[in-house]
Structure 1
Amino acid sequence: MSEREHDPFVLAAEAASAIAEQTGVDRHDTALVLGSGWGEAADLLGETTHALPADGIPGFHAPAVVGHVGTIRSVVTPTGRRILVLGARTHFYEGRGVRAVVHGVRTAAAAGCGTLVLTNGCGGLNEDWTPGTPVLISDHLNLTAASPLEGATFVDLTDLYSRRLRDLAREVDPSLEEGVYAQFTGPHYETPAEVRYAKTIGADLVGMSTALEAIAARHAGMEVFGISLVTNLAAGISPVPLSHDEVIDAGQAAGPRISRLLADIVDRV
């Protein structure tokens, strides 16, 4: 393959072009990546005018995780804004490489999105955050030993997760708390020792997504808003063994409430 065919930004531009061609929408304003528990939010944002199979768009793949949908949706809000809903998240542990993990983010930027909303289901390190608690992400710890940036690409991450957008979220729900999210590689859950380590170095939340995507979004010039759903207490804190079924169940139980919350927040973004 040529160098051009290897270029992840060329692939993102091709994906954005395919989305524009198949939807008839030249430009989107905001992108959403919907993680475990957050899927219902898309239906509350406005009218879904197009739902595209993700694996039919260059660079995208069918989701590998139960609970994630495999579509890319174009939603028009009552005010006429266009939302690109990315339901086909590629996780680092799938082994497709970091470029694949952040392809959706780069596609959203190429499609015109100036704001990226990242959501996830995660483990909580604060015992007061019971399963079903939404928590704003104020910062992250990237514990994957990887970066979506290649070569001498130096990007300031000081204010990666927008304070402005967190303040807007608190206008919707003043009770929202915030914390630092630590991305581990997965797919195994963290050990109790790893959870203690994460807490010691400043984490409040642990999961397997989000940080790499946020870095790519900042590089692309997007404003980033992150919000986690605590689906379980982390290992060593939880009194029961961890399981993906627990994550799914917590997401389903909290789904209507947090989806309404997210839709109301996105309406202000």
Structure 2
Amino acid sequence: MAATADLLRARGLGGPFACAIVTGTGLGAMVERLTETRSVPYGEIPGLPAPRVSGHGGRLHAGSLGGRRVLVFEGRAHAYETGDSGVMRVPLGIARALGARALLLTNAAGSLRPEAGPGSLVALSDHINLSGFNPLVGEAGDGRFVPMVGAYDADLRRTLHAAAQACGVALHEGIYAWFSGPSFETPAEVRMAGILGADLVGMSTVPETILARFFGLPVAAVSVVTNLAAGIGDGDPHHDETKAVAARAATDLARLAEAFVSLLPEPRA
């Protein structure tokens, strides 16, 4: 990863960065808010997996957002694309190597709470891994035994809520359950997740959070609710619906992200 980081520095994507941001399905609108931007397609970065799902742009950007330098991964690869739950290991390792001080993950999710319906934003307080995968399987050494208490950093979460208040965006809070995908969850699976305490269901974010903890990056995460989960009200999710609602909510998410980043400490080399 050091060689890849050097390559990116040579192309103007050097840090340090107040934050690295990973955008979810249809949520690339915050890229339009970047200034002083340098961009590289994923396909030109050794080892970086190109997204194979529509709604993910597939470019790495370095620029200024909210008065802070940020690194934005426009789109992600998912475990369900290859069966590799560690597919985001290289991107997050690169973020760390380039000097990112924190990680903001975003995703599109289904909600188990009708009051947090389509278009709502939800800050993650914890997660439940229902996928049967872990991105650290096969990792050598004691570093793989990553503690997961406080996986979603409490200080960063408070900063998210302060940012939401400052920019006038409503922000809920909840627990996210990771299903492997790519098929959507059944109503029975959603009921199970609810019994276990989940407020949201989705197909990403958890492996990135585990990997970020492995790399020593504090994590904040925000879900954009694109649908009610299967069996909740009239919830019967489809990918086209996910993309359409995400696109409509992306502006609010971009405003929140910009306000959030503006409250982070200025990164020092």
- TM-score calculated relative to the size of structure 2: 0.89
Distance in 1 (CA, whole Å) between partners of 2:13 and 2:256 is 29
Distance in 2 (CA, whole Å) between partners of 1:194 and 1:227 is 22
Q: Partner of 2:231 in structure 1?
A: 236
Q: Partner of 2:47 in structure 1?
A: 59
SS at match of 1:66: coil
- TM-score calculated relative to the size of structure 1: 0.89
RMSD between superposed Cα atoms in Å? 1.7
List structure 1 segments (4+ residues) > 4 angstroms apart after TM superposition.
none
Q: Percent identity over the alignment?
A: 38
Q: Partner of 1:38 in structure 2?
A: 27
In structure 1, runs of 5+ residues without a counterpart are 1-11
Is the CA contact 1:168–1:268 (under 8 Å) kept in the aligned structure 2?
A: yes
**Counterpart amino acid of 2:232?**
I
Q: Equivalent residues in 2 for 1:147-166 (5 A)?
A: 147-149=134-136, 150-151=139-140, 152=142, 153-166=144-157
Distance in 2 (CA, whole Å) between partners of 1:59 and 1:69 is 17
Distance in 1 (CA, whole Å) between partners of 2:196 and 2:48 is 34
Q: Equivalent residues in 2 for 1:133-152 (5 A)?
A: 133-149=120-136, 150-151=139-140, 152=142
Q: 1:20 to 1:92 in 2, by over 3 A?
A: same
Q: Partner of 2:191 in structure 1?
A: 196
**Counterpart amino acid of 1:61?**
P
**Counterpart amino acid of 1:42?**
V
Distance in 2 (CA, whole Å) between partners of 1:24 and 1:117 is 18
Q: 1:209 to 1:24 in 2, by over 3 A?
A: closer
Q: Equivalent residues in 2 for 1:66-105 (5 A)?
A: 66-77=54-65, 79=67, 81-95=68-82, 97-105=84-92
2:172 to 169, 177, 184: 177
Distance in 2 (CA, whole Å) between partners of 1:48 and 1:42 is 11
**Counterpart amino acid of 1:176?**
L
How many pairs were matched up?
256
Q: 1:24 to 1:254 in 2, by over 3 A?
A: closer
Q: 1:251 to 1:54 in 2, by over 3 A?
A: same
Q: 1:250 to 1:28 in 2, by over 3 A?
A: same
Question: Deviation at 1:238?
Answer: 4.3
Q: Partner of 1:20 in structure 2?
A: 9
In structure 2, runs of 5+ residues without a counterpart are 265-269
